[in-house]
Each structure stands twice: as structure tokens, then as C-alpha cells.
Structure 1
Amino acid sequence: MDSANTSPVPANLPVAESNADDLATQCYFLDLLLQPLDEWRGFQVIEQFGLSGIRYELNFSQYALAMAQYTRTPAFTGYLAEAQRNAILKMTNRRVWSYWAIERLVGYGRWNPDPIVFHNIMYTAYFGMMIGLYETLNDDRRFSAPGSLTLRWNERKSYRYEFAGIANAIRVNMLQEPDHPQYPCEPRLVYPVCNTFALNTLRLHDRLHGTNLTGDLIERVRLSYDKDGWRRKNGRFLSCGTRSGRPLVPPSLFNDGSIASLLNPTMPDVAENTWRVLRNKCITITGEDVELERSVLDRIDAGNYNVNRGDAQARSCLMMGACEHGDDEALNALDRSIAARHDVIWSHGARQFKGLSPWSYGSYALGRWGRRNSMRDLVNGVVPLEWRTGPLLAQVAYPDVLVAKAVTDGAALELVLRPGNGPTRATLKFARLSPGRTYHVSGATVDQLIAATDGTALAEVDLAGRCEVRVWPAA
């Protein structure tokens, strides 16, 4: 985990334990991302130009797993980190980004397949945030090595990037029109929610790498919200417009619910006001259900164009906002309302709701797995020193072992494990132990272990149900 943050870090950040449904939801994302990089089994493939693109499936799968790591298993890397790395690497696959060559040609009359250098914030900013969240939670800078992310167009042409290159491209694009810093997704179309990913990427890179790419861009965007009419007098945001703010698409719950969460790291006052407006004007809790003040847009799940109970995307994004602002009443009611409208689909232990797009399901998971200010804290690096230096669970087999909780106080490691594929004896690999030191163990087949010279050690555990494992240094 990174060593820099912008806020005082409490040593006792809450760490929750995932229940059976949480773990089954994690399995949905893990099954997608732990397959070989050149395989796409289970991915939704409709088209790549619009909101059903694979890129959003990759983005929100990784964001969801990063949030699970942050709030439930900060002392576990293993397959959870591997899945996030795979999501980042899959973003470089040509099938994910080749749409931009056509969009740029049609929209701007120029041929250049590079999806990062010019506009296309819907790829670049979402991609950058993936890398920043991963680096925040894992002591791994492979994607910051120069040229570590190769986007191969054909045998003759490739575009080589890394985290810094992506972040610099965002800054350049935002400063092309300094008085109108929000820049387009599709040609000439600006979406405020997409630009929250840009600001978060810049904030993440600056914190992790000591740069100052953000500069005054947060304040420039803030001024633009009101000067260019992006934020209406009622506190709602336009969903889409031209760069100068000419309105094209009216406010939507999907848009504003996302902004309430994703803008909290950089403009917490605007994010809080957005949630307060949504809560007071658009959400009515009636017993076990939730009634929404919806627009036509909110009746469609834009991630799969489902119009049959398609407001699940609006409900999922509102869950993100409710979670981020600590509104447990709304969060739980929205969760229940989705479950009441959508049957659960089970596949080899993985859980998904019928009809929900992967994007919506990722938003749903962010709402379930976050906590008050969790996105704000994660982007701003609120990570206790003990989590960055203490023992961790570095490796365990998936799906044999599901990690429901993993936390360290800097010296001891506490785990809650469950079997994912029936009763099993599993090997756990621990890391960041003090080399040569003896540790006590409870919950495993041994009661003591000695750390190797590289700070690792192995232990076996018999899993038949919920199992607590604890590792702590001997006196």
C-alpha cells in the first residue's frame, strides 16, 4: 500500500466481514477476471461504442473488488489483487478500445486509433482510476513503469503508456479549454460524471507519485459547474452537454447518484449537496420498497439497454451515493428494492441479479461494500500505517478459500475464511512477517510457525465452514 496520504489516518478504520452473499457477489467478479487474459467467458458483449462496452464491465469489476479489499480484507492480496491486475491488463486489449478509431474519424475527421491522447475520457479516466486504486491498496508499481501498458493496434503500430502517461493525457485534455475543463467522451459530448473519474485519477497519481498534475483543475471544474450551467439551481446535474455547457441530456438518477459518490474525494461539499437533493426530492421509502422520482432515462439500464425493470441502474448508483454519505436507511431500502425486483442467478457459487448489467452490478457492489466516505478515503489514501507494514495473507487457492475478512494491527494478522468449493484442507501463505521470528497461530493445523528470511511462512487450515485464523508474534 502507498505511503502517502492527504488526510490524518485513524488507526482503527472499520473493517467489515463479508457475509455469504457478499462473498458470492465477489465470486461473480473474480470468475470474470481470474480467467486467462485472452479469454472472455461470461463477459457481456453487445457493442463497444456505447455504455454497454466491455470497458465499463472491467472498470466497475475492478472498482468493486478494490472497495472490498479496502473495507473487508486490507491484509489480503492474493487472488483479489491478481483479479484487479487482470482487469487493468484486459483494458489494453484491442477489442476494448478499438472503437475510438471510428469515433474519432467520424466525429473529428481524423484517423488516429490512439484512445488516450485525445478526448475519449470514457476510456482514459476510468482506466487511470483503476490503476490508482490498485496502487493505493497494493505495494506494486508495475503499471507505473514506463511503457508497461501496451495498446497494440496491429503488428506495426502500438501505443505505449503507463500510469503517468494516462494522467498526463487527462491533464492536457482538460487544459485544452481552460475555462471549460471538462472534456468529451464521445466526440464533442461532455458528461460530468465521467470527468469525476478524471479528477480522481489526477488526485490519485499526485498522491502516489508526488506530482502536481491536478493543479487548479478541481477549482476550474467547480467554477464551470455553475458558470456553464452544468449544475442546475435545484442542485441536479445535467447528464450531458457540449463542452461549453449547452444542455443535451437532462439530469438522471444514474448520473447524480454516481456523482454523489465519485465527486466526494475532490469536492465533498458538492457531493454532499447532491446526495441531500436526491434524498429529499427523488427518493421515498415506503415500508419495504423505494419509490423514485424518475426520468425516462432512469427507466433504462444503460449498461445493457434493458427497459424491463431497467431502473436497477438508477437504484444501484443511488446505493453508491447513500453508502458514501452514510445514509444506511436509504442504502438498505434500495438494496431490498433491487432484490425484490430481480431474481438471483447462481453459477458455480457466484451470485448476480437477473437483468442487471455488469456496470449496474458493480455499482451495486460498491454500495454494499463501501462505508461512509469510503470512496473519498480510498482516493485520498486514508490507509493506516499498520495496514501498509503489518503481516498479510499473500496467497491462497481460489475458489477453494473465500476470504471474508483480513486485517492487521501492524503485528498480528486476523482472518475469517470460508470454503468456496466444499470442505477442504488449504495452504495459506503469509508475507511481511519479521524474518526468522516465531509466530503463534490459532485456527490452523499448526500452532506455531517461523518466518523465512523473506518474511513468508506457510500454514494449512481445515475448512468446513466459517473459520477464524490468527497469527501473532511470540513474546
Structure 2
Amino acid sequence: MYLALLGAGSAILFVSHQDNLRIFGMGLIVPGGGFLAHADICTQNGIGHLLAALAGMAAFGFSLMIWFGTGNILAPPLVWLGLAMGAATMRHGALRESTVDMVFAGLALTMGATAVAMATWFALGRRQRRIDNTYLASQTGRLDLIFDADITPAHAAEMSLEHLQRLRFALDRALQPLDQFNGFEKIDQFQTAATRYQLNFLAYGVALTQARFTPAFRGYMHDAQIALLDKQAQHQVWSYWKLENLWGNLRADPDPVARENIMYTGFVALQMALFSASTGRRDFSETGRFTLTHPSGQRYAHDAASLVQRLEHEYSTSPYYLIACEPNWVYPLCNTIGASAIMAFDAQHQEQRWAARAQDFRHHLEAEFLDGFGRYIPCKSARTGLALPAVGGVMPLAMPCFFLNVIAPDLARRQWLLLRRQLFDRNGAFRRRAFWPIDTGNYGFSRASAYSATALAAAELGDSAVYSACLDALEKECPSVLKDGVIHRRKASVWAHGVELMARAGARDDFRDVIAAPKPVTGPQLDSLAYPAILVASAHAGHDALRAVLYADGVHAIGLRGLQPNAHYLANGIPITANANGQARFDLALNGRTSLHVQPQGGG
């Protein structure tokens, strides 16, 4: 594309006899190049032209940032063309031939330097891959020492009071009225600070907490997950797509699910999948349950199945197989999230949708989204093939390992082992400088998101050393603050809080198990408990009995469901009888941490 532009600009420059057209041709060759027509460092006008050229190049660079940040593919060509036309309309006088020679000489030098840099980069990449492969081979006998975390029995998992106070950060935001977003950060809706991502990761955290600690508790844990999904359907959350679709795809459809848009479709699909996996409920499998209503009155009816079907279609039609987020930009991380959603849907509905796609997904992930050094790139432009370098410290390389452990565990381990070398120095000290000092969730100066995301991957892979080091560093740099029974971190974004909640709910291979082998929710369950008066630290059912740990003070009403209809039970020695619907309610005196055991009368 650039060679075509270079050819057109050169033809105009050498064929035309009009100075304005020739200057326009120079503007096509280099963004802002037309202003170089009379640039020099000896005269006031010449310096002015030079500064105008530099400003034009900076403007073009800014337009590239807009393209990346918002998907606005029109910005770079319009700025480039606008600069060329603007320079051509200025009265420069006769064009200096020495200037033309200078532009082409500079262009030739730039291309030559780029070629040398690329050749050097590839040579270094080949060398680094040899080093990495040797290193990976040397780690074979150490895997049990690195991935050493114990697997906690599901029935023994219990949250501490501090953990419950961290969970309340998510619950308080989820359980407010649907049209209210108090406590959420409102910075922009196009990049990582967007409200939808805050909702996604708070919901993921609540779901994983539910699955591990409180599978036998409905109540406000279910309500929170449903509310976070229903908030995703609020127009203010998905209204961004109308603009992105217009300036990125040149289409006016505001429906964020209708076209390649995995950052909404895939993320929400996983939110639904985790809700179903952790609760056993299928609310969002009902046809049209996730309906988006535009202010114009137009309704877009969706549900879990329709989102998964859209993902399948987009995987089949995308030129890189992986699906774009912002129009044109393809992120491997986002695609591992979408792939996890399809796998979870398969496990819950006994289908084989992902089995037909797993090999192609893996092939394109490896063939198109690794750089010369064998690292996963952050993203790639589907229309140009250009890939952004691996910037942002260890987090963009660490977080994909969490989702890769579901899709391709061997790739997750390979990536993690290569990354792990950056986390400790030769003396074994934790290298905090390896973590980017910018919080992905609010663009503030904090390593909270980087520490949380890396701890999340470490928890899933079972690397206890990295997990502990990340959470220790997080506490030192962004200390916890307890206010009104809720723990938060002042410098950390809402997104970082959600990721930390996921990390604290995680254990070795837990996410993979939730996705691939969700456990059925059966037996007695807690229900209808007052929030935040009663906090449930654990709730596990088995053999028609329930064991739970509650934090509260005073006498409170306890609701139960999932009992045998009309059957008799003992709850901490209190006789109760289930109604015809298998429900019961009784009062229980609670004093701080209180254990609750519900069992059939005469049971063990």
C-alpha cells in the first residue's frame, strides 16, 4: 500500500510542472512532507516550514494512536491526505530541487536503516529462540518444583473474613440498581478502562469465588452475577460500538454482537458461561434473555447460544482465524477468553463446537501471533498485518497463560516458563521493575493490575512462589484499606480489584476445571440471606447435607432450598421441616464465625 502511495506521489512530483501539485506529491510520499518544500535551518520561514513538517508528522503519529485506541481506521489516511492538501495550498514559491533530493535521500536512508534493523531483529530472534529452547529443555526435571501449589479439596475451601471483605467490593457494585454505576470508574469506553471490562472481571471474580467457596449458596451471590450481566445490557455500556463500527467498519449498525467484536461478545459469553458453571442455572440460555434495547426503541435479542454462534461464525470468516476486538485489531488474549466461553458452553450442553476448531485456533495462534522471539504479540492489525511490539511489562505475557491453561495447557506452561525468568534476578529477588507502573484499568500510576494479573496466572498454573511474591508486592505498593466493612486499594482500578478477586479465588487448574468439568449443584443450599448482615465464607453440599460457615452477629433468618420435600432435618441441632417445594426457613443465633451443619434427622 505504501509503495503504491510512493509511486503516485513520485509520479506527480516528477511529471507535473506546477509547484502546488509537486508539493502535494511530496505530501503523499511522507506524512507532512509537503511542508519540507522550503524547509531549512537558516531562515525564519525555513525554520517555520521545518516545524510545520515536524508538527504534521506528530499529528500523523497521533492519528495512529487514535486508530489503535478507538479502531478509527479513517483517522490516519485522512490526516495524511489533509496534511498533503494543506501544504499544497500554501504559497511556497518555486520548489527547490535540493529539497526533493533531500526527501528521497532521507527516505532511502530510512528504508535502509529499517531493513538493517529488521534483519538484525530476526537474527537476534533466532538466537534467542535457540537459547529459550535450551532453557525449556533444562526445566523438564524442575516442573514439580515450579508448579508446586497444593490442590485444596473442594469441600474444605473457606474464605477468611478479610477475603469476604474484599468480595464485598464486587458485591456492593453489583447489587445496586441496574441503571446505577456508583463505584465504577468512568474514563473512556474504547480502551481497557471501559465499564464493560470492569463488569466482566468483577463478575468473573464473583463466579470463581462462588464455584470454589460457596457452590451451595444461592442468595446474593447469584443475584450479583445476574445483575452484572444485566448491567452489560445497559445502553451506556455498549453505546461505544455505534461509533467504533461506523469509523472502523464503515457500518452504522449499533448492535455490538452483530459483527466482529469479541471484546463484547466473547467477554459477555464467558460471563454467562461462568455464571452457569458456578450456579448450575441456565437463566441466560433462555431465548432472548440478553436483549439490548437502543434508545430508538430498536431491540437486539441475544442469549448465551446466540453469542456462541456469533463467535463460531466470526472464527470461520476472520482472515487470521482469531477475531478482532476494536475494528481491525486482533488480540490473542481476547480470543482465548472467547474460546474459553465456547468450551464452557460445550461442557454445559454436551456439545462439541470447540472440538472442530481447537486445532485451527492453535495453529493460527502459533503461526500468526508469535513474534520473532517466540513471545505472544499484544495485537495485530487484520487489514495491514502490522503487529504491535510486546510492551507493557510482564502482564500482557502473563495473563494469557490463565486462559491458555484451558485451551492448550502445554502452551500456557511454555509461555510461563519463559516469562518467569524475568520475574526474579540472579539472587532470587523479585524484580518489581519487570511490572509496568501503569494500571491497565484506569491508566493511573500503579502496578496493581500488573501484580494482580500475574498472580492470577500463577494461581491457575500452581506457581506458589510467584503468586505469593505478586500479592506481597501488591500489598506493599497499594496497601489494603478497610472502610465500612469493605476492603479496597486506593490506587488500584476497579478492573484490578476484579482481577485480584479472581486470583484470590483461584487454585491450581481451578479455572480449567470450572470450564471443562463444571460440578453439578445438588443437595441443600443456603438462600435468602440478608446482605451484608450475613457473609457466607463457605457453603458445600454432599450426601443430602450442607456444611457452611457464616459471619454475622445476632439472631438471623436462614433460608434453605434443595431439601427433600416434606423431609425432616436438623440445623445445628434445630429441627426443621422442608415444605412441598423443598424449602425451609429458621432463625439461628450467630456469633462471629459460625459453623452451620444441616443434615437429615437421623443422618450422620
TM-score, structure 1 as length reference: 0.90
CA shift for structure 1 position 245: 5.4
Change (3 A) 1:161 1:286: farther
CA shift for structure 1 position 447: 1.7
CA shift for structure 1 position 381: 2.4
Match of 1:366 among 485, 488, 502: 502
SS in 2 for 1:42: coil
Match of 2:199 in 1: 58
Change (3 A) 1:139 1:367: closer
Match of 1:436 among 566, 577, 583: 566
CA shift for structure 1 position 345: 3.1
Match of 2:370 among 226, 231, 243: 231
In the alignment, the residues of structure 2 paired with residue 122 and residue 107 of structure 1 have an alpha-carbon distance, to the nearest angstrom, of: 14
CA shift for structure 1 position 41: 1.3
For residues 319-468 of structure 1, the aligned pairs below 5 Å read 319-383=455-519, 388-419=521-552, 423-442=553-572, 447-468=574-595
In the alignment, the residues of structure 1 paired with residue 170 and residue 310 of structure 2 have an alpha-carbon distance, to the nearest angstrom, of: 29
CA shift for structure 1 position 404: 0.5
Match of 1:93 in 2: 234
Larger radius of gyration: 2
In structure 2, give the amino acid aligned to 1:451.
A
In structure 2, give the amino acid aligned to 1:412.
A
Q: Deviations over 1:49-104 (max 9, x none)?
A: 11101001100111001111111111111100100000000000000011011011
Match of 2:246 among 105, 119, 124: 105
Q: Deviations over 1:124-171 (max 9, x none)?
A: 111000001111122322211111111111243121101111111111
For residues 37-48 of structure 1, the aligned pairs below 5 Å read 37-48=178-189
In the alignment, the residues of structure 1 paired with residue 152 and residue 465 of structure 2 have an alpha-carbon distance, to the nearest angstrom, of: 27
Native 8 Å contact 1:128 1:166 kept in 2: yes
CA shift for structure 1 position 216: 2.8
Match of 1:301 among 439, 454, 465: 439
Match of 1:16 among 141, 146, 157: 157
In the alignment, the residues of structure 2 paired with residue 141 and residue 358 of structure 1 have an alpha-carbon distance, to the nearest angstrom, of: 28
Match of 1:145 among 286, 289, 292: 286
Native 8 Å contact 2:523 2:544 kept in 1: yes
Native 8 Å contact 2:155 2:540 kept in 1: no
Q: Deviations over 1:283-318 (max 9, x none)?
A: 45988x7314637xx221121001x2x222111110
CA shift for structure 1 position 11: 12
CA shift for structure 1 position 231: 2.4
In the alignment, the residues of structure 1 paired with residue 592 and residue 215 of structure 2 have an alpha-carbon distance, to the nearest angstrom, of: 22
In structure 1, give the amino acid aligned to 2:370.
R
In the alignment, the residues of structure 2 paired with residue 292 and residue 217 of structure 1 have an alpha-carbon distance, to the nearest angstrom, of: 38
For residues 185-200 of structure 1, the aligned pairs below 5 Å read 185-200=325-340
SS in 2 for 1:262: helix
In the alignment, the residues of structure 2 paired with residue 377 and residue 437 of structure 1 have an alpha-carbon distance, to the nearest angstrom, of: 33
Q: Deviations over 1:188-228 (max 9, x none)?
A: 11111000111011111222223333243221121112222
Once the two structures are overlaid, the 10-residue window that deviates more, 154-163 or 246-255, is: 246-255
Native 8 Å contact 1:235 1:277 kept in 2: no
- How many residue pairs end up in the alignment? 450
Native 8 Å contact 1:167 1:213 kept in 2: no
In structure 2, give the amino acid aligned to 1:209.
H
> Greater relative contact order (Cα 8 A, min sep 6): structure 1 or 2?
1
CA shift for structure 1 position 21: 1.5
Change (3 A) 1:214 1:448: same
Determine whether 1:317 maps to 2:435.
Answer: no
In the alignment, the residues of structure 1 paired with residue 276 and residue 589 of structure 2 have an alpha-carbon distance, to the nearest angstrom, of: 32
Q: Deviations over 1:246-269 (max 9, x none)?
A: 322415422222111112111111
In structure 2, give the amino acid aligned to 1:371.
A
SS in 1 for 2:599: strand
Task: List gaps (5 residues or longer) in structure 1.
Answer: 1-9
SS in 2 for 1:276: helix
TM-score, structure 2 as length reference: 0.71
SS in 2 for 1:180: coil
Determine whether 1:263 maps to 2:404.
Answer: yes
Native 8 Å contact 2:211 2:279 kept in 1: no
Q: Percent identity?
A: 29
Native 8 Å contact 2:526 2:558 kept in 1: yes
In the alignment, the residues of structure 2 paired with residue 380 and residue 226 of structure 1 have an alpha-carbon distance, to the nearest angstrom, of: 23
SS in 2 for 1:175: helix
For residues 244-255 of structure 1, the aligned pairs below 5 Å read 246-250=386-390, 252=392, 253-255=394-396
CA shift for structure 1 position 234: 4.8
CA shift for structure 1 position 437: 1.5
CA shift for structure 1 position 233: 5.8
In the alignment, the residues of structure 2 paired with residue 279 and residue 411 of structure 1 have an alpha-carbon distance, to the nearest angstrom, of: 45
Match of 2:381 among 232, 242, 249: 242
For residues 106-125 of structure 1, the aligned pairs below 5 Å read 106-125=247-266
Native 8 Å contact 2:278 2:518 kept in 1: no
In the alignment, the residues of structure 2 paired with residue 142 and residue 304 of structure 1 have an alpha-carbon distance, to the nearest angstrom, of: 32
In the alignment, the residues of structure 1 paired with residue 498 and residue 209 of structure 2 have an alpha-carbon distance, to the nearest angstrom, of: 11
Match of 1:222 in 2: 362
Which is richer in strand?
Answer: 1
Once the two structures are overlaid, the 10-residue window that deviates more, 77-86 or 246-255, is: 246-255
SS in 1 for 2:592: coil
In the alignment, the residues of structure 2 paired with residue 11 and residue 67 of structure 1 have an alpha-carbon distance, to the nearest angstrom, of: 14
In structure 2, give the amino acid aligned to 1:185.
C
Native 8 Å contact 2:175 2:224 kept in 1: yes
Task: List gaps (5 residues or longer) in structure 2.
Answer: 1-150
Match of 1:213 among 353, 372, 382: 353
In structure 2, give the amino acid aligned to 1:380.
A
Which is richer in helix?
Answer: 2
SS in 1 for 2:492: coil
Native 8 Å contact 2:422 2:431 kept in 1: no
Native 8 Å contact 1:322 1:330 kept in 2: yes
Q: Deviations over 1:408-436 (max 9, x none)?
A: 123210011102xxx33211111111112
SS in 2 for 1:404: strand
Native 8 Å contact 1:414 1:469 kept in 2: yes
Native 8 Å contact 1:180 1:221 kept in 2: no
SS in 1 for 2:547: strand
Native 8 Å contact 2:277 2:518 kept in 1: no
In structure 2, give the amino acid aligned to 1:449.
I
Native 8 Å contact 1:400 1:424 kept in 2: no
Match of 2:125 in 1: none
